[in-house]
Structure 1
Amino acid sequence: MQQPSVSSGEVDFYIPSIEKPCKTFYIIYGDPKTRRPLVCAHGGPGAGHAYLKSFASLTADYGIPVILYDQIGCGNSTLLPETIGDINFWTIDLFMTELDNLLKALNVEDDYDFLGQSWGTILGSEYIISRQPKGMKHYIISNGVASGKLFGEATRKLISELPQESRDMILKHESSKTYDDPEFQEASMVFYKRHVCRLDDWPEDLMQSLNLLDLHNNPTVYLTMNGPSEFTMVGPLKDYSAVGRLHMVNVPTLIMNGEFDETTDSVNMPFFIEIPKVRWVTISNASHMPWLEDPDRYFSVLANFLLS
């Protein structure tokens, strides 16, 4: 395996309602001039690119250039803590505009593939439906969310299957909104170890991204748009839905999720039913991070789809 070249930088991102200059951080593995790149949108929202760094193996093993970036408000991009709670500022449209800006700045807008992971699939689906981008050639829905309502129903069912003590702690603190209580955090970890990442030892890259979502770190975007945990959706994303509009996704699409994923089959089913050119692969014994839990299988499926 040959180590790919790595470059990084920042792209100016003008936001009319923000007085200070804003920037989007990116990192590129390989050379997008040699082959069509895969642009990856991270989850959260607000998780940053760190937990996707192992996507560099697509470049090393298959020669596919990969572009990762930190969406505005997190990671190495401009942070805007003063906007926490402002649902009129933190919108899907803001992130679509940022994506437009990034693709143009990197000169890949005419020929690229796109992967969204978790929240990134909301961004990706809405981007395709509303923008109909001619440059996007393939779409990968990794651990996707077609509807906030479906996702909420799925996580409630998964919570009902947790050990009684963990379930009771979660419901108790959700009721009192004491999300920063250690009891709630401990019970949440039982859920995460089953349905977010099933590895015994979580990689440092994953911990770096999860730390951006930690309540004690004031995660502006995550708290505003989603809520205090993966399964406690109180922000506007709980009402999001692409159902009934996904037939407008007009590029070959691959759905990937894990056998024990918090984005269960029921959450992904609308993608499969509505998107015209679609295939679906579920990674056995994996959850919401299958590229970490079974990288050989995940990247093999992904590369075969992109190179076929």
Structure 2
Amino acid sequence: MTTEDGVRLWASRSGAGRPVVFCHGGPGLWDTLDDVAALLTGLATVHRWDQRGCGRSQRSGPYSMARTVADLEAVRRHFGLEDMVLLGHSWGAQLGLRYALDHPRRVLGLVYVSGTGIDPGTTWNAGYSRNLRSALGGDVARWEELKGRRERTPAQDREFSVLQWSADFADPSRARQHAERMATPWLEVNFACNAAINAEDKREWGTAALRDRCEELRVPVLIVDGEHDIRPRSSVDSLERALPHARRVVLPGAGHLPWTEDPEGFRTAVGAFLSS
């Protein structure tokens, strides 16, 4: 599909049922939500897309929250959806929330998976950093070496990402396997996109104005957390309190990608929300 400013985005539609549009994590990554789409077979018509500059979409900016929200609106129009449920993971949960705040009449519901809430990043970054290093264990030295390099080859970018993503799973015996699967095929992280949007988030997230807007949102929201996500789940508490129509499900034994380690629990929670 093509946005109104001429940027080509990869998008797909599959399944049958209530329309659900995915917002993948990042920023700067691509849609790795194949397993989520499979879990929702029979429950939803799933719409997936790679965000601007990412994965199979055209490598072109500008990169900002507002621009990405506009691209999500372009996806809705492209598929001819009057309204939709949004399912956002990690950074994509933030994107889904922002779209719902800007376009509440277009959103039937929001599934907010493994997001980091509306507080400033300073309230949870230190805990995340400690948990990340702890989860990496014996790989932390190699991760730090790759992280500190001013330039990396594509192979080193992939190695760095696989190491970091491996910390997102609760079961260390299978963590590297799960991370390798996420990185296959390797579509290259857009670090420029990541830096630009994260810098914007640091300026705008955690404001009283954002909290006030959340308190006024009438869209139903399902918050889904993995119990062992290395991003402290307390970061989401204030969002849960602010939203008038939110309920929260915590999946035991799961990390940042809870559908991977508790697929049945994830399908049950999301399925109940879609049918309500």
- Alpha-carbon distance between aligned partners in 1 of 2:235 and 2:204, rounded to the nearest angstrom: 12
- Alpha-carbon distance between aligned partners in 2 of 1:258 and 1:252, rounded to the nearest angstrom: 20
Query: Which residue number in structure 2 is paired with residue 244 of structure 1?
Result: 211
Question: Within the alignment, does 1:116 sit opposite 2:116 as a pair?
Answer: no
* SS of the residue 1:255 aligns to: strand
Query: How many residue pairs get matched?
Result: 266
Query: Which residue number in structure 2 is paired with residue 208 of structure 1?
Result: 184
Distance apart, 1:169 and its partner CA: 6.6
Identify the match of residue 141 of structure 1 among 100, 112, 128: 112
* SS of the residue 1:107 aligns to: coil
Deviates more, 1:201-210 or 1:111-120: 201-210
Question: Within the alignment, does 1:13 sit opposite 2:3 as a pair?
Answer: yes
Contact 2:40–2:267, Cα closer than 8 Å, also in 1: no
How do 1:270-285 residues align onto structure 2 when only pairs under 5 Å count?
270-285=238-253
Question: Within the alignment, does 1:79 sit opposite 2:59 as a pair?
Answer: yes
The Cα offsets for residues 121-172 of structure 1, whole Å up to 9 and x where unpaired, read as 121111222x242121111110112243334233123246457866667667
Q: Which amino acid aligns with 2:167?
A: R
Question: Within the alignment, does 1:257 sit opposite 2:225 as a pair?
Answer: yes
RMSD: 3.1
Contact 1:169–1:183, Cα closer than 8 Å, also in 2: no
Distance apart, 1:99 and its partner CA: 1.0
Distance apart, 1:98 and its partner CA: 0.6
Distance apart, 1:225 and its partner CA: 2.9
Contact 1:73–1:220, Cα closer than 8 Å, also in 2: no
How do 1:15-164 residues align onto structure 2 when only pairs under 5 Å count?
15=5, 21-31=6-16, 35-49=17-31, 51-60=32-41, 62-80=42-60, 89-108=62-81, 110-129=82-101, 131-146=102-117, 147=119, 148-159=121-132, 161=134
Q: Which amino acid aligns with 1:138?
A: G
- Alpha-carbon distance between aligned partners in 2 of 1:307 and 1:193, rounded to the nearest angstrom: 33
The Cα offsets for residues 63-121 of structure 1, whole Å up to 9 and x where unpaired, read as 311111111111221112xx5xxxxx31100001111111112111x221111111111
Distance apart, 1:265 and its partner CA: 1.1
The Cα offsets for residues 30-77 of structure 1, whole Å up to 9 and x where unpaired, read as 24xxx421111001112211x2012232442x3311111111111221
Contact 2:143–2:163, Cα closer than 8 Å, also in 1: no
- Alpha-carbon distance between aligned partners in 2 of 1:273 and 1:48, rounded to the nearest angstrom: 30
Greater fraction helix: 2
Deviates more, 1:160-169 or 1:97-106: 160-169
The Cα offsets for residues 224-256 of structure 1, whole Å up to 9 and x where unpaired, read as 434xxxxxxxx3333441552321332111111
Contact 2:43–2:271, Cα closer than 8 Å, also in 1: no
Query: Which residue number in structure 2 is paired with residue 291 of structure 1?
Result: 259
- Decide whether aligned partners of structure 1 residues 162 and 105 sit closer, same or farther in structure 2, where only a CA change above 3 A counts: closer
Q: Which amino acid aligns with 2:99?
A: Y
Contact 2:64–2:196, Cα closer than 8 Å, also in 1: no
* SS of the residue 1:208 aligns to: coil
- Decide whether aligned partners of structure 1 residues 205 and 70 sit closer, same or farther in structure 2, where only a CA change above 3 A counts: farther
- Alpha-carbon distance between aligned partners in 2 of 1:163 and 1:169, rounded to the nearest angstrom: 10
Q: Which amino acid aligns with 1:73?
A: G
Contact 2:215–2:243, Cα closer than 8 Å, also in 1: yes
- Alpha-carbon distance between aligned partners in 2 of 1:203 and 1:188, rounded to the nearest angstrom: 8
Q: Which amino acid aligns with 1:113?
A: V
Contact 2:65–2:197, Cα closer than 8 Å, also in 1: no
Contact 1:47–1:209, Cα closer than 8 Å, also in 2: no
- Decide whether aligned partners of structure 1 residues 204 and 53 sit closer, same or farther in structure 2, where only a CA change above 3 A counts: farther
- Alpha-carbon distance between aligned partners in 2 of 1:137 and 1:156, rounded to the nearest angstrom: 35
* SS of the residue 2:9 aligns to: strand
Identify the match of residue 194 of structure 1 among 163, 167, 177: 167
Contact 1:149–1:240, Cα closer than 8 Å, also in 2: no
Q: Which runs of 5+ in 1 are unaligned?
A: 1-10, 16-20, 84-88, 227-234
Distance apart, 1:273 and its partner CA: 1.3
Contact 2:170–2:228, Cα closer than 8 Å, also in 1: no
